[in-house]
């Protein structure tokens, strides 16, 4: 009988503490080591200085009258205040709600209502948006729990700090939720992923272990902090190891990343494939000295083998690690092991992380399948989320009775216990590292008065991995142009959710039972647009 696709990563001691306790231990060990460099804010803090600012921020939050486990939203690109709020909420026992800076009124209204956040921190505007205007539109006519709006970069922030009070008396526990991150659901509505101190800390701890991170390392992270990759894999990993985090810019900027590596002598850099491509292809690439780099890690989208080679050779990332995971898994499930060969690093997403079970099951009956066969990847262990916030049915669909998280991703486990992601059992589209579910976009487009029906699929794209296509059937007697549809989307949904391709059709390919055959739509468009050469280039 063939061996089954089920494996458990190596055993390592797990942490039984809170983020606040872990920070205190690092401060005691490395008080004068640099902790956080925010280059666009000209800010540098050592661990003892960061700790003092976190305490001030935590007391300021308490001064707003927040109770333990109340929700605090941060709707911002990368900045010092983001990190302070992350650690301050953890210390005081509040729950941080990550809000994507690309959200516009439609998205924001949903999260404000669903999360029941009592406080929201944001900048008034930046080059991308007028956040004050978006917030006003999102709040209009809504009965929300939101009581406090703190404007970063104004006297609103120092006033909050000045009105600080003692922290809540209730002790913070390792199994308390400390973070809610919204991820799109197959039913069309984003779901709040509840993540605990225990799950986040241990994922960061084990990530640092496999990358041999020490207090001598300097991690350049262009990832947005609202992603697990930014606030967990970069910030918490550095905190546990005493390493420094370098934030190059508010939003991703390839030149800023190269400049930060050069000036700060960064030893590790992370990113999704499109970030590395932009850095390698920047016209000033050769002007920067990147020889301080010893490692790089890449994830969030399929990683082309040629790109891994270029990062290793041209950016001096001698150890390029590919990681795979999802928000519901805190986030990393598999990763290149320290002793992996070049072939294993280039051809797989690594093997099961320590203390992590991974299996491949049949999408038809849920049975574990033999090694080498394709099925849905499932994982179990400390890393699995506490659940979707106040969505028990959705939680039961994602986590089965035996505790296995069903990722919805199709994969193959090789004989060497490494995994290759082959596709998605669900319809999720990954555009430049952003997870998008078609149903969410479809439900939004249905609100357009001219649209009678719509189907959204992903098309292959060499740069972004996938881009969105919308097939639209207009209501009888109506006419519309592509730009009209895009204009309807702009400012109401995140920019990465706006379809790049739009086609007006009279009907959809259907099954005999009336279901839209999205695979046929995708095939027809690939042929019509001449994208055959793109298929498989990012797998």
pLDDT tens per residue, range 180-221: 999 864 345 789 999 999 999 999 999 999 999 999 999 999
Q: Which among 412, 399, 353, 426 is positioned nearest to 184, based on CA atoms?
A: 426
| CB-facing half-sphere around the CA of 173: CA atoms within 13 A | 5
Element (H, E) at 392: helix 392-398
Separation of alpha carbons 387 and 392, rounded Å: 8
In a domain, 439, yes or no: yes
pLDDT value at residue 184: 63
* Residue 243 in this model has a pLDDT that exceeds 50: yes
* 122-172 residue pLDDT tens: 999 998 899 999 999 999 999 999 999 999 999 999 999 999 999 999 999
| Residue-wise burial string across 479-489, b where 16 or more C-beta atoms lie within 10 A, e elsewhere | ebeeeebeebb
pLDDT over 70 for what percent of the chain? 96
Q: Residues with Cβ < 8 Å from 175, sequence gap 6 or more?
A: 196, 197, 198, 386
Write the Ramachandran bin of 298: left for phi over 0, alpha for psi from -120 to 50, otherwise beta: beta
Helix %, strand %, coil % of the chain (to 5): 35, 25, 40
Residues forming a β-bridge with 73: 97, 120
Which of helix, strand or coil describes residue 466?
strand
CB 77 within 8 A of CB 101: yes
In a domain, 506, yes or no: yes
Q: What is the mean pLDDT of residues 28-46?
A: 98
In a domain, 446, yes or no: yes
In a domain, 341, yes or no: no
pLDDT value at residue 534: 66
Q: Which among 408, 461, 470, 412 is positioned nearest to 438, based on CA atoms?
A: 470
User: Between the CA of residue 229 and those of 226, 324, 401, what are the distances in Å?
Assistant: 8, 11, 28
Which of helix, strand or coil describes residue 123?
strand
Separation of alpha carbons 461 and 197, rounded Å: 37
In a domain, 483, yes or no: yes
Neighbours of 287 (CB within 10 A): 11
Residue owning tokens 């661990």: 47
In a domain, 149, yes or no: no
Neighbours of 145 (CB within 10 A): 13
Predicted TM-score (pTM) of the model is 0.86
In a domain, 56, yes or no: no
Largest CA-CA distance found in the chain, in angstroms, rounded: 71
Domain boundaries, position 519: 429-534
pLDDT value at residue 517: 82
User: Between the CA of residue 305 and those of 324, 352, 438, 505, what are the distances in Å?
Assistant: 15, 20, 28, 38
* Residue 263 in this model has a pLDDT that exceeds 70: yes
* Residue 485 in this model has a pLDDT that exceeds 90: yes
Separation of alpha carbons 218 and 243, rounded Å: 6
Q: How would residue 446 be classed by pLDDT, with cut points 50, 70 and 90? A: confident
Q: What is the mean pLDDT of residues 56-78?
A: 98
- Domain of 500: which CATH number? 3.30.300.30
Residues forming a β-bridge with 194: 180, 387
Q: What is the mean pLDDT of residues 345-361?
A: 94
Separation of alpha carbons 145 and 97, rounded Å: 14
CB 182 within 8 A of CB 191: yes
pLDDT value at residue 372: 96
More confident residue, 100 or 440: 100
Separation of alpha carbons 408 and 402, rounded Å: 17
DSSP one-letter code for 67: P
Separation of alpha carbons 298 and 103, rounded Å: 25
pLDDT value at residue 148: 98
More confident residue, 429 or 501: 501
More confident residue, 318 or 74: 74
CB 467 within 8 A of CB 500: yes
More confident residue, 512 or 193: 193
Count of domains in the chain?
A: 1
pLDDT value at residue 535: 57
Q: How would residue 306 be classed by pLDDT, with cut points 50, 70 and 90? A: confident
Quote the mean pLDDT of the chain: 92
CB 75 within 8 A of CB 101: yes
Residue owning tokens 């999802």: 326
* 373-413 residue pLDDT tens: 989 999 999 999 999 999 999 999 999 999 999 999 889 99
CB 131 within 8 A of CB 107: no
Separation of alpha carbons 387 and 402, rounded Å: 14
pLDDT over 90 for what percent of the chain? 78
Of 308-317, 322-331, 383-392, 487-496, give the lowest mean pLDDT range. 308-317
Q: What is the mean pLDDT of residues 454-470?
A: 92
More confident residue, 464 or 201: 201
User: Between the CA of residue 412 and those of 3, 277, 347, 519, 523, what are the distances in Å?
Assistant: 13, 27, 12, 21, 24
In a domain, 280, yes or no: no
pLDDT value at residue 421: 86
More confident residue, 443 or 448: 448
User: Between the CA of residue 385 and those of 176, 224, 359, what are the distances in Å?
Assistant: 11, 21, 17
Q: How would residue 54 be classed by pLDDT, with cut points 50, 70 and 90? A: very high
CB 164 within 8 A of CB 59: yes
Of 54-63, 337-346, 380-389, 495-504, give the lowest mean pLDDT range. 337-346
């Amino acid at each position: 009988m063939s061996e089954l696709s089920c494996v458990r990563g190596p055993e390592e001691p797990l942490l039984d503490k809170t983020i606040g306790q872990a920070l205190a231990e690092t401060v005691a060990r490395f008080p004068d080591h640099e902790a956080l460099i925010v280059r666009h804010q000209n800010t540098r803090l050592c661990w003892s200085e960061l700790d003092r600012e976190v305490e001030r921020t935590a007391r300021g939050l308490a001064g707003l009258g927040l109770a333990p486990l109340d929700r605090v939203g941060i709707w911002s690109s990368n900045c010092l205040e983001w990190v302070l709020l992350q650690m301050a909420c953890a210390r005081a026992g509040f729950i941080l709600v990550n809000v994507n800076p690309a959200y516009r009124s439609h998205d924001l209204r949903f999260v404000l209502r669903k999360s029941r956040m009592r406080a929201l921190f944001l900048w008034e505007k930046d080059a991308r948006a007028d956040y004050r205007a978006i917030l006003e539109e999102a709040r209009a006519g809504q009965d929300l729990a939101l009581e406090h709006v703190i404007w970063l970069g104004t006297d609103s922030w120092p006033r909050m700090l000045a009105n600080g009070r003692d922290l809540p008396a209730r002790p913070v526990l390792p199994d308390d939720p400390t973070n809610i991150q919204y991820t799109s659901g197959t039913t069309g509505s984003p779901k709040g992923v509840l993540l605990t101190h225990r799950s986040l800390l241990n994922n960061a701890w084990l990530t640092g272990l496999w990358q041999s991170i020490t207090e001598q390392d300097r991690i350049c992270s262009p990832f947005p902090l609202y992603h697990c990759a930014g606030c967990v894999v970069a910030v918490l990993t550095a905190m546990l190891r005493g390493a420094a985090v370098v934030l190059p810019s508010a939003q991703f900027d390839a030149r800023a990343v190269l400049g930060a590596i050069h000036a700060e002598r960064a030893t590790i850099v992370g990113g999704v494939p499109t970030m590395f491509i932009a850095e390698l292809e920047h016209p000033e690439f050769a002007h920067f000295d990147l020889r301080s780099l010893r490692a790089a890690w890449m994830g969030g989208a399929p990683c082309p083998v040629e790109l891994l080679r270029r990062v290793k050779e041209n950016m001096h990332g001698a150890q390029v690690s590919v990681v795979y995971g999802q928000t519901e898994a805190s986030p990393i499930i598999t990763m290149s092991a320290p002793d992996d060969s070049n072939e294993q690093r280039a051809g797989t997403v690594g093997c099961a992380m320590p203390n992590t079970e991974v299996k491949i099951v049949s999408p038809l009956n849920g049975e574990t399948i033999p090694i080498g066969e394709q099925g849905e990847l499932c994982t179990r262990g400390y890393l699995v989320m506490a659940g979707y916030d106040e969505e028990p049915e959705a939680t039961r669909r994602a986590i089965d009775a035996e505790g296995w998280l069903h990722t919805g991703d199709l994969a193959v486990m090789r004989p060497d216990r490494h995994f290759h992601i082959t596709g998605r059992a669900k319809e999720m589209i990954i555009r430049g590292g952003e997870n998008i579910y078609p149903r969410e976009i479809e439900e939004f487009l249905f609100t357009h008065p001219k649209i009678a029906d719509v189907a959204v699929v992903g098309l292959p794209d060499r740069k972004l991995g996938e881009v969105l296509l919308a097939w639209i059937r207009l209501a009888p007697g109506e006419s519309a142009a592509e730009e009209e549809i895009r204009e309807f989307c702009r400012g109401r949904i995140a920019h990465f959710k706006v379809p790049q391709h739009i086609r007006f059709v009279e009907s959809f390919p259907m099954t005999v039972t009336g279901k839209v055959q999205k695979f046929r739509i995708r095939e027809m468009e690939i042929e019509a647009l001449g994208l055959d050469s793109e298929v498989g280039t990012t797998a």
